[in-house]
């Protein structure tokens, strides 16, 4: 029997630590947790409540209505989809874990990449192969480096069966362009690799005109897509996700269902009912997604400006609610050290880059902006509907607090003497 030490997900651990500090009265700007930070749309709430009496397990693959709605979602994006090759689960995170078990072998991951990819791979006995993203990019392993990494691993006797991409990316907020995806697909074909494309942020690309190419557009025979509603419609706590399997992948389908039957049995029936309505994309939900896309982009760009002002190297965000600034120019240590300084001395909570598989010596951190929108549902809804969210007093206050903390941090490099913030300050209340 193999002994394995499993630690709490870095994002969840940071969230709990920041919540603890806040309960103790400390003001912490929460930039560490990738929650969409928006209220539930009333139509979804009503659908969930209306299905509350549906307490049966249901099909392992998910209810037919949800699978058909998800198939329609992809078909409208140029990917004709058979509902029989859609599998639903309690979140795309669970589906990713099931896919790793079903596919087997080692997997190529971009570096940096979402904290759970490598952790899940290790849980199933796979050894992740971390390949740096292209310079200034994120979400995909550099196509120029993938072939060599896979061949070296196979020469050592390892079985490498898959690679994973995130479009757009967490942690960098970047979207890989069509040319990069095309090169990566060519290599995947050459090396006979399955591609898992995590597209949970697809509908929160900031600029709708930005070209989006899924590997499934170019290599439908070897691409699996996962997505969910936790980001586009802020339903993270409802735990629902869907996976689109390639046509003809009946063996993979059977294997994934076998895994699902032993781990989660079936997604929650009432949530499936609401999710089916969401994936049908009625106009009222499309309008909500568009408002969210606008808010995420506006605030992410404002936070990006604050980091640029102190000389950080940070690519402009393109999707989701993330940035990945490099603060190495300050000379204050690696990612763990800079994260600790930001939290303990400046009241700014971020995640260290090494949690995403990055070089611990580099002072890169993941910044999530989506909890800046307000402390209450009323504030968040106001932010969502505001034509000028940056002028709302609570968002402006959060951005000012961030600017002050970052400028204090930067002053260390120049030998300036500054007053440390008090450890405990009351969080301002806004009416």
> What are the tens digits of pLDDT across the range 292-336?
999 999 999 999 999 999 999 999 999 999 999 999 999 999 999
Residues 6+ apart with CB under 8 A from 40: 233, 234, 235
Note the pLDDT tens digit of each residue in 389-420. 999 999 999 999 999 999 999 997 655 434 44
| pLDDT greater than 60 at residue 37 | yes
Residues 6+ apart with CB under 8 A from 32: 11, 14, 15, 18, 349, 350, 351, 366, 368
Note the pLDDT tens digit of each residue in 177-226. 999 999 999 999 999 999 999 999 999 999 999 999 999 999 999 999 99
Q: Pick the closest to residue 302 from 375, 228, 399 (CA basis).
A: 399
> DSSP class of residue 16?
H
Q: Which residues pair with residue 243 across a beta bridge?
A: 87, 226
CA-based radius of gyration for the chain: 21
Over residues 125-136, the mean pLDDT reads 96
DSSP code string of 249-298: -HHHHHHHHHHHHHHTSS--HHHHHHHHHHHT--HHHHHHHHHHHHHHHH
Q: What is the pLDDT of residue 416?
A: 44
Do residues 205 and 186 touch, judged by C-beta distance below 8 A?
Answer: no
CA dihedral 96, 97, 103, 109 (to 10 degrees): 70
Q: Taking the CB of residue 49, how many other CB atoms lie within 10 A of it? A: 11
| pLDDT greater than 80 at residue 374 | yes
Do residues 235 and 260 touch, judged by C-beta distance below 8 A?
Answer: no
Q: What is the pLDDT of residue 5?
A: 61
């Amino acid at each position: 029997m193999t002994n394995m030490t499993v630690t709490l997900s870095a994002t969840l651990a940071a969230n709990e630590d920041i919540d603890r500090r806040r309960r103790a009265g400390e003001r912490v700007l929460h930039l560490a947790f990738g929650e969409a930070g928006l209220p539930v749309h009333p139509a979804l709430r009503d659908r969930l409540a209306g299905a509350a009496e549906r307490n049966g397990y249901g099909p392992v693959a998910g209810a037919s209505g949800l699978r058909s709605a998800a198939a329609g979602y992809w078909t409208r994006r140029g990917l004709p989809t058979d509902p029989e090759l859609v599998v639903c689960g309690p979140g795309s995170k669970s589906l990713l874990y099931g896919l790793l078990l079903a596919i087997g072998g080692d997997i190529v991951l971009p570096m940096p990449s979402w904290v759970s990819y490598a952790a899940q791979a290790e849980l199933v006995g796979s050894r992740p192969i971390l390949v740096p993203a292209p310079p200034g990019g994120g979400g995909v392993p550099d196509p120029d480096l993938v072939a060599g990494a896979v061949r070296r691993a196979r020469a050592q006797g390892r079985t490498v069966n898959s690679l994973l991409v995130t479009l757009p990316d967490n942690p960098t907020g970047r979207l890989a362009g069509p040319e990069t995806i095309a090169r990566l697909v060519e290599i995947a074909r050459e090396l006979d690799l399955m591609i898992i494309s995590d597209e949970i942020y697809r509908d929160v690309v900031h600029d709708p005109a930005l070209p989006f190419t899924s590997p499934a557009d170019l290599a439908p025979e070897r691409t699996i897509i996962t997505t969910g509603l936790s980001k586009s419609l802020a339903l993270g706590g409802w735990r629902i996700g869907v996976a689109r399997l390639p046509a003809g992948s009946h063996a993979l389908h059977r294997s994934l269902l076998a895994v699902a039957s032993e781990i989660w049995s079936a997604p929650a029936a009432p949530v499936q009912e609401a999710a089916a309505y969401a994936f049908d994309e009625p106009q009222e939900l499309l309008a909500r997604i568009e408002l969210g896309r606008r808010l995420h982009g506006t605030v992410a760009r404002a936070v990006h400006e604050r980091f640029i002002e102190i000389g950080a190297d940070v690519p402009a965000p393109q999707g989701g609610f993330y940035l990945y600034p490099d603060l190495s120019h300050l000379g204050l240590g690696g990612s763990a050290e800079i994260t600790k300084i930001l939290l303990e001395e400046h009241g700014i909570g971020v995640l260290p880059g090494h949690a995403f598989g990055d070089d611990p010596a580099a002072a890169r951190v993941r910044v999530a902006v989506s909890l800046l929108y307000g402390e209450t549902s009323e504030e968040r809804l106001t932010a969502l509907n505001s034509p000028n969210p940056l002028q709302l007093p609570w968002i402006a206050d959060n951005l000012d607090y961030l600017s002050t903390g970052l400028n204090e941090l930067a002053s260390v490099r120049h030998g300036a003497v500054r007053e440390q913030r008090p450890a405990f300050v009351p969080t301002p209340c806004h009416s």
